[in-house]
Amino acid sequence: MTVIHGGNREKIAALIQRPATSLLDFSANINPLGVPQALKATLSAALTELSDYPNPEYPRLKSAIAKHHQVAATDIVVGNGAVQLIFDAALALHVQTAMVLAPCFGEYERALKKAGTQVTHFSLTRDDDFQLTGAQLIQALKDQPQVKLVCLGNPNNPTGTMLNDADLDQLVSYCRQQKIWVILDEAFMDLSLSPNEGWLPKLSPSDPVIVVRSLTKFFAIPGLRLGYAVTKNSALQQKMRDQSEPWSVNTVAARFGERAFEDRTYIQATQDWLQTEQPWLGKQLQEITFLHVFPSVTNYYLVYSSVPHLREKLWQVGILIRDCRDYVGLDAGYYRMAVKSHEANQELVQQLRVLE
Ligand SMILES: Cc1ncc(COP(=O)(O)O)c(C=O)c1O
């Protein structure tokens, strides 16, 4: 299975023969506030340490994450982006059959297949706005008792939908009873309209759950890469330790992560931007006659366009959006658009209006 990610400005720039820097990229869901200014000194100071190996235990990084989420440092594994933790968790758990949503982030299936796991899909439907309920997923698990792992994005990519707390409680308690592992990918939790601690405060040693988080989207560092996973399940902690490679977080990323959560000004500014721009862009997109916009709680929208080849048409005006036809469960016509700065969002809306 090939997953064609968004955010590849360099490739599209070469294809359409425009400088990469002139393109407005709505195909990757990255905080438009950019790398926090206050952390740039931390980044450059870390360069002086490049001739030493990082401490493979990452005590300072884990302690910063532990303090931020009020969990124990021993419950944390750090990695080179959330995606590494997803691959490591799939390998560590190494079950025969797993279930993912369709559509969902394509790397879940790649990670599971690499671990030798068979993947079954639970289809979300357009009629339900791609919204999932805990009861539906539990029924699917009952129908397929061979499934021993569920890998779930909350919020889900590319739909921007989220399971409500009560449904997630119900799902995890079913999985606990039935000994089904859960990889809960909360990479977009802090970029949701009601950012909260997600499942982290509810983790317990009897939980079969590992929560995956990312700093790359919120702190706009996809080129630096930093993610972490948290579980209180001691068997799973041991499996993750056995699985993990040493030094998977580079020194610059580690030093960044040690300080990032202290930047309250940036965190507040991000939440302020999202609370204003996310609904603004959603409303504007809904007014475009050829688009159907699906409800989203996070910093991107899944849309369906009745104008064909929308991605290529927007390339002509220097705008990149994510074509979603490579997601299992979606086909031609579905696109994902990130919420960006107000100026960029205005430009997107204006260019879409031209196509009406
Ligand atoms: C749902 C989801 N989880 C995880 C990731 C990967 O995050 P990272 O860049 O931290 O590896 C992505 C990247 O697009 C994603 O969409």
Name all residues whose Cβ lies below 6 A of ligand 1: 81-83, 105, 153, 157, 185, 187, 214, 216, 222, 227
pTM given for the model: 0.96
Q: Ligand 1: distance of its center to the CA of 225 in Å?
A: 10
Gap between the Cα atoms of 89 and 84, Å rounded: 8
Dist. CA 354 → ligand 1 center (Å): 32
Ligand 1 probe mutation, 5, 86, 107, most atoms within 8 A of CB: 107
Q: What pLDDT, in 10s, does the model give residues 80-128? A: 999 999 999 999 999 999 999 999 999 999 999 999 999 999 999 999 9
> Computed over its alpha carbons, how large is the radius of gyration of the chain?
20
Q: 288, 327 in Cβ contact below 8 A?
A: no
pLDDT of residue 195: 72
Going through 69-140 in order, the beta strands assigned E by DSSP cover 76-79, 97-102, 118-123
Is the confidence at residue 180, as pLDDT, over 70?
yes
Alpha carbons 104 and 156: distance in angstroms, whole number: 6
Dihedral sign computed on CA atoms, order 8, 10, 15, 16: positive
pLDDT digits (tens, 9 = 90+) for 281-331: 999 999 999 999 999 999 999 999 999 999 999 999 999 999 999 999 999
Which atom of ligand 1 has the smallest separation from the CA of 227? 10
Q: What is the mean pLDDT of residues 186-192?
A: 97
What are the residues facing 319 on neighbouring strands? 24
217 alpha carbon – ligand 1 mean position (Å): 8
Nearest residue to 117 via CA among 98, 102, 145: 98
pLDDT for residue 196: 80
Other Cβ atoms less than 10 A from the Cβ of 338: the count is 26
CA distance 29 to 31: 7
Dist. CA 214 → ligand 1 center (Å): 7
* Ligand 1 atom index nearest CA of 84: 11
Nearest-atom number in ligand 1 for the CA of 7 is 14
Show the tokens assigned to 138. 């539990």
Neighbours of 205 (CB within 10 A): 12
